[in-house]
């Protein structure tokens, strides 16, 4: 057990953050990658803020879709899942996703908790057997009602809808409806951004249906059998949602070090009803404390359409990673998408941010500083010995940007924070143009020499402080900057409690060779 210093035996609560677990039936695309990058940036930033972070992601392996894909590929479902786990994990390794745990719903540690909870709910009478007659969408793995039709037809997203009659086990949602409404009204910041919480309350205006939590084995084999009736397997959501607690040892002493979760990060399509209704009621019914927040991101679109496998318009992150490395991709998606809103992926915008902000504003700035330090001060970062207006202005710009970045990153508004940060990198470039050390170098006058050395010191300190905030966003690139600018470990790993101080920490350090951070694409 980890203990908080000075708090005796009180267990320390980690900052616990999760992503949705990806369906094992298809290959990853930008939507999956984005969510993991967003969560990773939060996790890395929180670590930088001094928190002990536990970051969970994983794979959703049961259900009809996986069974169907396995049949199509003529392999056992477990084999399909094993292969997909490798594919997803390889992508996330390439993207630098720093998760602490990866849960797969076919693992015994997960199945055990699912069975345990179901038995508990069954014993309490919250789960009961009933007959169901009605419509079923295989694609959505969901029972439907007449009211789900639009203009008398089933919407495209449900695929083929068939009429069925079967006995199933149900979990009572209705009984918790007014409690849930009250909870959300009392906790207006529960779903982030708040307009998504309004959507949940909107959904709750209509009476909830009971939730069928089982599927007869005759129709679906690939699932966790119900502990009290082996003829049925667990409905995929009732299985998948439980990953958030099975992974952290629900039922053991460790559990309270993590739970309640600080943020469940999910896409907008699985907020209602899955996370905001099913999950919250499941927890309440089991007497488990509720999550602290749900963070909902929007969708990546391409030319206005949702990016999805079935539409065949996927953006493969691997194409971008192979050509440009992982960090520009991480930067792009975080810079481009306002958390909560949809965003359009366009190659032109990608290229414009790559050659503009990354290559020009940051890459060239570093090369210039390294180059000039080599040429004019024998590779040693000089001392700052004066401060005139341009220097004072640059410092002011730093303080302004840093405050804005911290405020934005604290609210997970990476796009806003990065905008402020790159405004600062631009300011360093402007400062370089103002002082023009390459012109000063031609003069023998002592005051010009002083201006030259001072300006190099200012630029180096600016870059050191600027890249500190880039660590959660572009960890590999920042490592390169640190190596070439000779930023020592203790400065690079600074815990950010408040605005890091401008204090010329780089004076006297010997820089490395010039480096091209963002090579021109072929
Ligand atoms: N397996 C369920 C989640 C269970 S969580 C207990 C699932 N899987 S998924 O593979 O379809 O989606 C995984 C995550 O990716 C979801 O949060 C989903 O919203 C997100 N995205 C899928 N396509 C997306 C985009 N085009 N854009 C952004 N994210 C989207 O749902």
Q: State the closest ligand 1 atom to the C-alpha of 300, by its place in the atom list counted from 1.
A: 27
- Whole-number Å distance between alpha carbons of 39 and 15: 12
Would you say how long the chain is, in residues? Answer: 522
**The residue to which tokens 């990354």 are assigned:** 358
CA-derived radius of gyration, the chain: 27
User: What's the 408 CA to ligand 1 centre distance in angstroms?
Assistant: 25
Is 453 part of any domain? yes
Q: What is the DSSP string of 330-371?
A: HHHHHHHPPTTS-EE--HHHHHHHIIIIIIIIIIIHHHHHHH
Q: Report the pocket of ligand 1 as residue ranges, CB < 6 Å.
A: 20-23, 31-32, 34-35, 60, 240-241, 243, 266-267, 269-270, 299-300, 306-308
Helix H segments across 138-193?
177-186
How far, in whole angstroms, is CA 501 from its chain's centroid? Answer: 29
**For the domain that residue 424 is a member of, what is the CATH number?**
1.10.730.10
Q: How many CB atoms lie within 10 A of CB 231?
A: 11
How far, in whole angstroms, is CA 450 from its chain's centroid? Answer: 46
Q: State the closest ligand 1 atom to the C-alpha of 265, by its place in the atom list counted from 1.
A: 17
Number of domains into which the chain is organized? 1
| 423 φ, ψ (degrees, to nearest 5) | -65, -35
Query: In degrees, to the nearest 5, what angle opens at C-alpha 22 toward C-alphas 250 and 136?
Result: 95
Is 66 part of any domain? no
Is 249 part of any domain? no
Is 239 part of any domain? no
Task: Give the structural domain span for 464.
Answer: 347-492
| Cβ(16)–Cβ(56) below 8 Å | yes
Q: What is the pLDDT of residue 6?
A: 39
- Whole-number Å distance between alpha carbons of 247 and 101: 8
- Whole-number Å distance between alpha carbons of 455 and 435: 7
**For the whole prediction, is pTM greater than 0.75?**
yes
Tokens of 209: 């249906």
What's the Cα-to-Cα distance from 452 to each of 157, 353, 435, 457, 464, rounded to whole Å?
Answer: 64, 31, 8, 9, 19
User: What's the 398 CA to ligand 1 centre distance in angstroms?
Assistant: 38
Enumerate residue ranges in the chain where pLDDT < 50.
1-8
Is 465 part of any domain? yes
Is 484 part of any domain? yes
Q: Cα torsion for 258, 5, 469, 418, to the nearest 10°?
A: 40
Is 124 part of any domain? no
- Whole-number Å distance between alpha carbons of 339 and 299: 10
Residue with the nearest Cα to atom 25 of ligand 1? Answer: 31
Is 149 part of any domain? no
Please enumerate in sequence order all residues whose Cβ is within 8 A of that of 401, keeping only pairs 6 or more positions apart, or say none.
Answer: 420, 421, 423, 424, 427, 466
Q: What share of the chain is helix, strand, coil (3-state, %, to 5)?
A: 50, 15, 35
Cis upstream peptide for 193 (omega within 30°): yes
User: What's the 299 CA to ligand 1 centre distance in angstroms?
Assistant: 9
| Pairing label, strands 15-19, 53-60 | parallel
- Whole-number Å distance between alpha carbons of 333 and 346: 11
Q: What is the pLDDT of residue 5?
A: 43
User: What's the 310 CA to ligand 1 centre distance in angstroms?
Assistant: 13
Tokens of 160: 């083929």
Residue with the nearest Cα to atom 5 of ligand 1? Answer: 20
**Best residue for ligand 1 mutational test, from 33, 35, 39, 283 (most atoms within 8 Å of Cβ):** 35
Q: Which of 484, 485, 438 is nearest to 460 (CA)?
A: 485
């Amino acid at each position: 057990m980890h203990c908080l210093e000075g708090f005796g035996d009180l267990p320390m609560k980690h900052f616990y953050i999760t992503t949705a677990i990806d369906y094992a039936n298809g290959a990853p695309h930008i939507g999956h990658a984005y969510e993991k990058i967003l969560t990773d940036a939060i996790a890395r930033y929180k670590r930088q803020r001094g928190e002990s972070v536990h970051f969970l992601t994983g794979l959703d392996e049961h259900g009809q879709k996986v069974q169907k894909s396995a049949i199509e590929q003529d392999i056992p479902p477990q084999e399909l899942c094993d292969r997909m786990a490798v594919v997803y994990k390889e992508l996330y390794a390439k993207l630098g996703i720093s998760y602490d745990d990866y849960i797969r719903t076919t693992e015994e540690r997960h199945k055990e908790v699912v069975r345990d909870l179901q038995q508990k709910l069954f014993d309490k009478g919250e789960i009961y057997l009933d007959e169901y007659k009605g419509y079923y969408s295989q694609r959505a793995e969901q029972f439907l009602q007449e009211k789900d039709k639009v203009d008398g037809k089933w919407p495209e997203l449900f695929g083929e809808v068939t009429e069925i009659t079967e006995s199933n086990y149900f979990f009572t949602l209705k009984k918790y409806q007014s409690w849930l409404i009250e909870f959300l009204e009392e906790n207006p910041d529960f779903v982030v951004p708040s307009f998504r919480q309004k959507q949940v309350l909107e959904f709750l205006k209509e009476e909830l249906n009971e939730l069928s939590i089982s599927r007869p084995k005759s129709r679906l084999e690939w699932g966790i059998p119900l502990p009290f009736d082996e003829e049925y397997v667990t409905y995929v959501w009732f299985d998948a949602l439980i990953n958030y607690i099975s992974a952290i040892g629900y039922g053991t002493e460790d559990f309270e070090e993590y739970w309640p979760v600080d943020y469940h990060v999910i896409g907008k399509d699985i907020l209602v009803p899955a996370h905001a209704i099913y999950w919250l009621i499941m927890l309440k019914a089991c007497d488990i404390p509720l999550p602290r927040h749900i963070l909902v991101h929007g969708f990546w679109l391409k030319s206005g359409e949702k990016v999805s496998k079935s539409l065949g318009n996927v953006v493969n992150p691997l194409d971008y990673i192979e050509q440009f490395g992982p960090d520009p991709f991480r930067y792009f998606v975080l810079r481009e998408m306002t958390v909560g809103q949809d965003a359009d992926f366009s190659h032109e915008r990608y290229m414009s941010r790559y050659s503009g902000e990354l290559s020009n504003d940051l890459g060239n700035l570093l090369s210039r500083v390294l180059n000039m330090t080599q040429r004019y001060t024998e590779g040693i970062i000089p001392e700052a010995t004066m401060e005139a207006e341009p220097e004072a202005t640059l410092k002011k710009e730093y303080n302004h940007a840093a405050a804005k970045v911290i405020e934005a990153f604290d609210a997970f508004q990476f796009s806003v924070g990065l905008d402020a940060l790159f405004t600062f990198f631009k300011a360093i470039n402007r400062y370089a143009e103002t002082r023009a050390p390459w012109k000063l170098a031609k003069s023998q006058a002592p005051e010009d020499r002083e201006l030259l050395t001072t300006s190099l010191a200012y630029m180096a300190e600016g870059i050191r402080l600027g890249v500190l905030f880039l660590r959660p966003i572009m960890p590999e690139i920042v490592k390169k900057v640190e190596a070439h600018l000779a930023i020592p470990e203790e400065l690079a790993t600074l815990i950010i409690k408040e605005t890091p101080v401008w204090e010329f920490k780089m004076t006297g350090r010997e820089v490395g060779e010039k480096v091209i951070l963002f090579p021109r694409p072929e």
